[in-house]
Amino acid sequence: MARSSTAASRLANARPDSLRSAGDGSLSREQKLELYYYMRLTRSLEERLVNLYRQTKVVGGLFRSLGQEADAEGSAYALDRSKGDVLSPLIRNLGSMLVQGAKPNEIIKQYMAKGDSPTRGRELNIHYGDLVRGFIGQISHLGDMVPVMAGVTLSFKMRKQDRVGLVYVGDGATSTGAFHEGINFAAVQRCPLVVVVENNGYAYSTPLKKQTAAKQLVDKAIGYGIAGEQADGNDVIATYEATKRAVDRARAGGGVTLVELITYRRKGHAEHDNQSYVPPGEIDRWASENDPIDRYAKRLLSEGEGGGGGFDQSQLAATDKRVLEEIDRATDEAEASPMPDPTDALVGIYADPPAIAPLWFRQGIKSAVDVHERPSSWGTHDV
Amino acid sequence: MSEVTYLEAIREALFEEMDRDENVFCLGEDIGAYGGAFKVTEGLMAKYGEERVIDTPISEAAIIGAAAGAAHMGMRPVCEMQFIDFISTGYDMLTNYVATARYRSMLPCPMVVRGPSGGYVRGGPFHSQNPEAAFLHTPGLKIVYPATASDAKGLLKSAIRDEDCVLYFEHKYLYRRIKEQMPDGDHLTPIGKARIAREGKDVSIITYAATVWKALEAAEQLEKEDGLSVEVIDLRTILPMDDEAIIATVKKTNRVLIVHEDTRTGGVAGEITARINENAFEWLDAPVLRVTAADVPLPYSPPLEDYVLPQTSDIVLGLRKLAAY
């Protein structure tokens, strides 16, 4: 599939028409509404986390994907969960995890460092995974998930499975050695892998022009001998369509695709970041003119004009209400959850022995070893 | 059954495990069509095909990272570092991703990273390293370093079957210098268990890998020339360390010399010494001594390399010093 030739003048908040979706991605009505649901869920869940953060109930930092919901949701939606596709998110891809089945209460418990969070208080924020549902937890070292997902998809190829993997990196991670090694390895092996480069303009405070001399990140595909796609990351349908082409290509044996999704990070690297390095007016412009949820809502409503079987405001409002109710329930559950038993820290470094001995100045392991078995809902092998 | 070399023992283990379990596969640089820089994997691709014996780009981070991803999915990858010196370019993947996977994300990562290690071969600074101490400090990894051909086979088979990541260091000086009859059947050497390479009662040497043989030579010499009975413990596994075997030999001889080929500062010997100090201090009749390489990058020229690396004569000196203490 041809990739767009338009280099988006993205920081000027351009919306190059060639990157926008022409069609509707052949999505059903239910699917279109579901996409809206996931975008709204992501944003509202993060807004709830901001409240909890301000109440000092979030133990660590808080990472937002405000304004980037369309690219995470639209791309993840292109995977086929029924076939066992697997993705590995980055810090601004909460939405992709929700699409794969992550639950709001898990996310809140993770942020609150609870003992019954998916990582039992060992890891932060959205750093967790579940192979049964098809997402693998990231680590903080950017680019490292590319080789890992190369291996996940290599196993699909070796076992002749009809499955695809998707890995997210940001514009900054394209500068890492791991990104290069991983994408090159996957390209040579023709792994069924989609590499989504989420170009949001900044890596912490570093703008794209200090990250690379490339005119556009999708150009890197040429050097690896793989297909490239580029789409307006704030257009959820365009994002879905571009990623779907890549997923279909991978499933058909066509190997790796680099998909560049152009978006904008409206919040700082994390909640503490005051974004002093951002030119005045830039954030407001993106917020007022190019909000992915506003754009999508407008689109859904306009499709309904003239009685075309589209959506009306009450349907979107009902979705918004449902999202808030879910988040209320999830918050209540997370707040009621216990903090971890300290001795659980010594369990599960190895399969055998399941726990290590405490240091001489600490108390024993208590019953932690007895409960070290992971919940049965968690995938291990052969999934 | 004829005797096989240390190198052939490693190859036998690979063939047997690939036969036994279709999830086992090998990946590394030049391991397939060429059979590996030292020919350890010779014949593997002919038998198992290029799907299961993968010639990779020069990308240690990708080799290790891809192995981790495949291991999550139930495969049993065996990575080759062409020389173990190059494992440092995969250090991030191993220590940050692989070693933490089970703990932070409950993701099993059953994989092996193996490669030719060690000096005494005039390999210079980048083809002679012993990187075990760099990984001893990383919870979540296991480290084995066999000294004998039968352990080379048995430990590799155990490593491939282990549920966690095992770094398997093979000593290239031993590749073709030692031979042994392999034990019959499905020979597995347990990970985490040291071996008494020589029984003794007067002084103990705790060591592993190629210096086991130098320790045995020194022990022989001491017995002949000084009438001393020297015990030699071959650790075989460095992580997790066999505290039981270490403490047992301390209690038996009360004098301990730790020998390793790696450099001194921050080396494995320091960790062993600390454990003896914590667990068996009152059993010691002399301070724990170390014979190790000097703290320099390993030089190429024979007089330099021989001067830097521990030799049998150094071990003899150490034993005599301990015996006289």
pLDDT in tens, A238-257: 999 999 999 999 999 999 99
pLDDT at position A362 is 83
Shared domain check, A350 and A259: no
Shared domain check, A336 and A350: no
pLDDT at position A10 is 41
Compare A91 and A356 and report the one with higher pLDDT: A91
Find the mean pLDDT for residues B26-46. 98
Beta strands in chain B (DSSP E): 4-5, 24-28, 53-55, 76-80, 112-117, 142-144, 166-171, 179-180, 195-198, 203-207, 230-234, 237-239, 256-263, 289-293
pLDDT at position A17 is 56
Indicate if B127 belongs to the active site. yes
A188 contacts in chain B (CB < 8 Å): 56-57
A340 contacts in chain B (CB < 8 Å): none
Find the mean pLDDT for residues A23-39. 88
Burial code (b: 16+ CB inside 10 Å, e: under 16) for A3-30 equals bbeeebebbebebeeebebeeebebeee
Shared domain check, A277 and A381: no
Find the mean pLDDT for residues B119-145. 97
pLDDT at position B1 is 66
Residue pair A76/A99 in contact (Cβ under 8 Å)? The answer is: yes
Asked if the model's pLDDT at residue B187 lies above 90, the reply is: yes
CB contact under 8 A, A123 and B105: yes
Q: How confident is the model at residue A26 (pLDDT cuts 50, 70, 90)?
A: confident
Nearest-angstrom CA–CA distance, A94 and A47: 13
Shared domain check, A237 and A177: yes
Mutation site for B-interface testing, chosen from A88, A132, A153, A185 by largest number of B Cβ within 10 Å: A185
Shared domain check, A253 and A162: yes
Shared domain check, A370 and A323: no
Distances (CA, A) of B96 to A142, B91, B101, B130: 11, 8, 8, 20
Average pLDDT, chain A: 89
B65 closest CB neighbour out of A182, A349, A352: A182
Nearest-angstrom CA–CA distance, B114 and B1: 27
Please state, for a pLDDT cut of 70, what percent of chain A lies above it.
Answer: 87
pLDDT at position A5 is 34
Q: Is A350 on the interface with B (CB under 8 A)?
A: yes
Q: How confident is the model at residue A377 (pLDDT cuts 50, 70, 90)?
A: very low
Asked whether residue A1 is domain-assigned, the answer is no
Shared domain check, A250 and A382: no
The alpha carbon dihedral of B97, B98, B99, B105 has a sign of: positive
Burial code (b: 16+ CB inside 10 Å, e: under 16) for B289-307 equals bbbbbeeeebbeeeeebee
Nearest-angstrom CA–CA distance, B194 and B208: 9
B190 contacts in chain A (CB < 8 Å): none
CB contact under 8 A, A137 and B107: yes
Lowest mean pLDDT among A1-15, B91-105, B195-209: A1-15
For domain B4-180, the CATH architecture is: 3-Layer(aba) Sandwich (3.40)
The model's pLDDT over A45-59, given as tens digits with 9 standing for 90+, comes to 999 999 999 999 999
pLDDT at position A21 is 63
Shared domain check, A285 and A244: yes
Residue-number span of the structural domain to which A100 is assigned:
10-340
Asked whether residue A373 is domain-assigned, the answer is yes
Find the mean pLDDT for residues A206-224. 97
pLDDT at position A7 is 36
Q: What's the CATH code of the domain at A325?
A: 3.40.50.970
Shared domain check, A371 and A322: no
The model's pLDDT over B267-310, given as tens digits with 9 standing for 90+, comes to 999 999 999 999 999 999 999 999 999 999 999 999 999 999 99
CB contact under 8 A, B57 and A181: yes
A117: Cα within 13 Å, side-chain hemisphere: 30
Phi-psi label, residue B39: left if phi above 0, alpha if psi -120 to 50, beta otherwise: left
Q: Are strands A206-207 and A202-203 parallel, antiparallel or unpaired?
A: antiparallel
- ipTM value for the complex: 0.96
**What is the pTM for the complete model shown?**
0.94
pLDDT at position A13 is 41
A348 closest CB neighbour out of B51, B97, B102: B102
Which pair of tokens denotes residue B243? Answer: 């505290």
Asked whether residue A3 is domain-assigned, the answer is no
Q: How confident is the model at residue A170 (pLDDT cuts 50, 70, 90)?
A: very high
One-letter amino acid at A181 equals: E
CB contact under 8 A, B66 and A374: no
Indicate the number of domains in chain A: 2
A351 closest CB neighbour out of B60, B93, B163: B163
Residue pair B72/A131 in contact (Cβ under 8 Å)? The answer is: yes
List the domain boundaries for chain B: 4-180, 195-324
pLDDT at position A25 is 58
Q: B195-324 has which CATH code?
A: 3.40.50.920
Residue pair B292/B263 in contact (Cβ under 8 Å)? The answer is: yes
Asked whether residue A380 is domain-assigned, the answer is yes
